[in-house]
Amino acid sequence: MKSLWEQTDARSGFDALDRDMETEVLIIGGGMAGVLCAYMLHRSGVPYVLAEAKTICSGVTKNTTAKITSQHGLIYDKLIRQFGKERAKQYLNANEAALSAYRDMCRRVDCDFEERDAYVYSLDDRRKIEREIEALEKLGFHAEFAAELPLPFSVSGAVRYPNQAQFHPLKFISAVSKGLNIYEHTAVRELVGTTAITDRGKIAAKKVIVATHFPFLNKHGGYFIKMYQHRSYVIALENAPNVGGMYVDEAQKGMSFRNYKDLLLIGGGDHRTGKKGGNWRELREFARHSYCDAVEKYHWATQDCMTLDGVPYIGRYSAGTPELYVATGFNKWGMTSSMAAAMILCDIIQGRKNPYADVFSPARTILRPQLAVNAAETIVNLLTPTAKRCPHLGCALKWNPYEHTWDCPCHGSRFSEDGKLIDNPATGDLK
């Protein structure tokens, strides 16, 4: 099961670390966020090393639907109510700046970059859409109401964000990673202060950025209680229409749509990792009824870290780790969030004040309703008797019959049928 992007990507490899070294900044994790941090530090002349356990963008990044947009569902009305207008404006400006940065970089890169309007729709609640447009107007962003969409069902309304974008993420990474100081097949087994221990050498750094999707250090920051992971599915169809934009349902279990060349990508079937959901079965049933002449060309799945309040954690890892930084919890919007994270962290590391940093601070309150849900899920699965247990924190693993994997409903670690680690935060295979 490989994504569309993997089928059409041709990347050159990087060597594995084979000696001890010293650097100013160590970046752990070579997904989109980690590579963009390396790119920006490189351009700023800051010495750095990026260590990736496998190959760059071989984790979650390769499975994105690759929408570059400030439209993150119906988030701005929520942000104003939770954080106030100033912080909501910071979030919007950070993502608009990220979109602008991609636009500038993609002018020099062959990565199928295309400007498209983005829409978030509601099937049954027009007032939700109207409130979001009102919130965006308060923040100075011009959004429009759309009553009809070129989708095979009716909607109560949609918010239109003009001039957003989509691209081929692995073509982009292949181009921007050239010449960067990256080591692949270099798993960080332990972090002692700011020195990383790998299988074939130590990397002594002054500052460390943890960009490993789900942070792997449990004793700092409490990320194991502040996040859970959410799984979603994608099919790519031939002989399906060009929908002319990017579309996402405001409901978490709704569907998303975008085209890539002659393919229509449909996402959905969502569920908390380790739980049951619609998966590809739901998408295929929809396609069979709505696009009866279409043929499935590719299918894949992805996984997202979900925070307590819908905003990523970007900044200092914890109060007790002044030289350790994190970028995580992108809530299904990894492309713009990765660029925003790189801009914020590279400013912080160089001692500059970043105008967007406050809203993303990992030190903000954790007193949100999702905290109780995460705690209950952890307690239930710690107490569930089963032979298969996650080495991360000991939760009971659940068998996923569609992907033939063992999945952790507490924090989202996944393992192959024979116990090989697929996704973190676990750092090793099943015993």
CA distances from 205 to 50, 51, 217, 323 (A): 11, 12, 17, 9
pLDDT for the residue numbered 161? 98
Query: Do residues 258 and 67 touch, judged by C-beta distance below 8 A?
Result: yes
For the stretch 340-396, pLDDT in tens is 999 999 999 999 999 999 999 999 999 999 999 999 988 988 888 887 899 898 999
Is 195 in a helix, a strand, or coil?
strand
pLDDT for the residue numbered 9? 63
DSSP string, 380-423: HHHHS--S-B-TTT-PBPEEETTTTEEE-TTT--EEETT--EEE
Nearest CA-CA partner of 78 in 141, 14, 16, 134: 134
CA atoms of 112 and 110, how far apart (whole Å): 6
Q: What is the mean pLDDT of residues 240-266?
A: 96
In eight-state DSSP terms, residue 185 is S
pLDDT band at 179 (very low <50, low <70, confident <90, very high): very high
Beta bridge partners of 21: 203
Residue 11 pLDDT > 70 = no
pLDDT band at 1 (very low <50, low <70, confident <90, very high): confident
pLDDT for the residue numbered 12? 65
Residue 110 pLDDT > 70 = yes
Q: What is the mean pLDDT of residues 187-197?
A: 95
State the first-to-last Cα distance of the chain, in angstroms, to the nearest integer.
25
CA atoms of 288 and 248, how far apart (whole Å): 20
Residue 41 pLDDT > 90 = yes
Which has more confidence, 11 or 266?
A: 266
Residue 10 pLDDT > 70 = no
Q: What is the mean pLDDT of residues 191-207?
A: 96
Average pLDDT, the chain: 95
Q: What is the mean pLDDT of residues 386-410?
A: 90
For the stretch 291-319, pLDDT in tens is 999 999 999 999 999 999 999 999 999 99
CA atoms of 339 and 337, how far apart (whole Å): 5
pLDDT for the residue numbered 384? 84
**Domains of the chain: which residue ranges?**
4-64+171-225+310-360, 369-419
Strand 246-249 relative to strand 256-260, pairing? antiparallel
Q: How many CA atoms lie within 13 A of 172 on its CB side?
A: 30
**pTM strictly above 0.85:** yes
Residue 135 pLDDT > 80 = yes
Q: What is the mean pLDDT of residues 93-121?
A: 97
Phi, psi for 117 (deg, rounded to 5): -75, 145
Is 237 in a helix, a strand, or coil?
strand
Match domain 369-419 to its CATH number in 3.60.20.40, 3.40.50.1110, 2.102.10.10, 3.40.50.1970. 2.102.10.10
Q: Residue 195: how many CB atoms within 10 A of its CB?
A: 15
Q: Where are the alpha helices (DSSP H) in 267-402?
A: 279-290, 334-349, 357-360, 369-383
The fold of 4-64+171-225+310-360 is FAD/NAD(P)-binding domain (3.50.50)
